[in-house]
Structure formats: C-alpha cells, structure tokens
Amino acid sequence: MTLLYRLDASAADIARRFGARVGDDPWNGGYCTPGKFAPVITAGREFIAGPRPAGRRLEPRMVPRLWGVMPPPSAGDPTRLVATLRNPDSPFWIGNLRNSEFRCLIPATAFMEWGNGTDYEGRRLKHWFAPEGEEIFAMAGVWKDDEVPGFALLTLDAAGLPKRAGCRSMPLVLPDDEEARQAWLHGGRDSASKLLDNHAADGLRELARG
C-alpha cells in the first residue's frame, strides 16, 4: 500500500509543470503522508463539488487537500482516514470515478513501497521509485467533499520494477502526456477506466533513498 511519497518541488514549479494556477498553496517540498495536507491539481468547481459550467473547461488549479477521506459508515473505525482507492468498483468510490470533477492529479517526485525482504537489522526494505526522465510526475487521485476536503490515491497491483522488488501495490502513475492528464481530469468514466486498464510500469527507475 502506498502511504508515503515525496514532492521535492516548490508550489510555483509544480503549477508550471502541469499548467495550473498556483493559488495560495505555500508548499516548499518534503514528505507526504496520510493525515497531512499536500498539493493536488483539480479542474472542478471552486471550493464545492458539482457539475462544471456547460460548454467550457475550468482552468486547472493547485490546492492543498488532506491525504485521506472519511471512511464509509460501515467502517469499523470511523476516525481512520481512507488514504488509498484500491477497488474502483466499490460503491464508496464509484461516484468519484464517474464524475471527473472529483478526479485530481497528485504531483510527486518519488513514491515509496515496501518490499518483501529485510535488511541486516531485520527491517523491511523500502523501495523508492520515479518515472525515468520526469522530475515531477502525476499520480491519479480522487477527492471527496467532506468537512475538510481530502484526497485518496489510486493504487493497483504492482507491475514491472516494483513487482520484481517484491512490492504488492503501487500508485497509478499517469503517462507524461497532456492527453492522458486531461483524460483523467476531464474525461468520462470510459477514459478513466482505460487509463486504469492500460497501466504499465515499464518506465520506472528505483532511487537510492533511506
């Protein structure tokens, strides 16, 4: 499960990378963990969920959102935030995936996954990954309009290099392609599903991080 990533870039650099309005986000770089705020790129309405104005696209903008959303009423622990979306067919998530205004890009410079081995002190191995040739990349996410708007990271079964390293899952890293990013931010459910179905990890490299 992906519960840690880094975003070592300034708010201005992130906004420039994805053609978004920077807003008031003071992000200067660092680790991102569940329960903390991190920048996301959204193209929905300002501050509120709902359909976009007919006939035009809204300008993407960068906003701070909490990593983690309130769990469904059936959850055993109502205080435990849901940080990742693993089952896109779950009734809890289906509305977010169907309605593109709830989808967002999650900027990152590296993400961490646990491997199945241990080091000489018996600690589980951490593996850090990033796409080759991308200083800042986009992972797919969705957000929910709770009291404090939060986001969740889409994760899939590990493939490619993470799978060979013994990792069980990985985030949906979007291709470095404006068409793919726009499909996630504005496309219908079919476009979003196609990105999920065609997920590949061939372009990832492993980084040396502790």
CA nearest 113: which of 158, 58, 147? 158
Residue 48 — very low, low, confident or very high, per pLDDT cuts 50/70/90? low
SS3 content of the chain, % helix, strand, coil (to 5): 20, 35, 45
| pLDDT per position as a tens digit, 158-196 | 999 999 999 999 999 999 999 999 999 988 888 888 888
| pLDDT per position as a tens digit, 7-19 | 999 999 999 999 9
Distance CA 95, CA 109 (A): 29
pLDDT at position 65 over 90? yes
Distance CA 138, CA 108 (A): 6
- Between 13-22, 85-94, 147-156, the lowest mean confidence (pLDDT) is in 85-94
List strands edge to edge, sheet with 30-32: 30-32, 5-7, 110-118, 124-131, 204-207
- For helices 91-98 and 189-197, what crossing angle results, to 10°? 110
Residue 73: what pLDDT? 77
For range 108-135, the mean pLDDT: 88
- Name the CATH architecture for the domain at 5-207: Alpha-Beta Complex (3.90)
CA nearest 40: which of 27, 31, 53, 51? 27
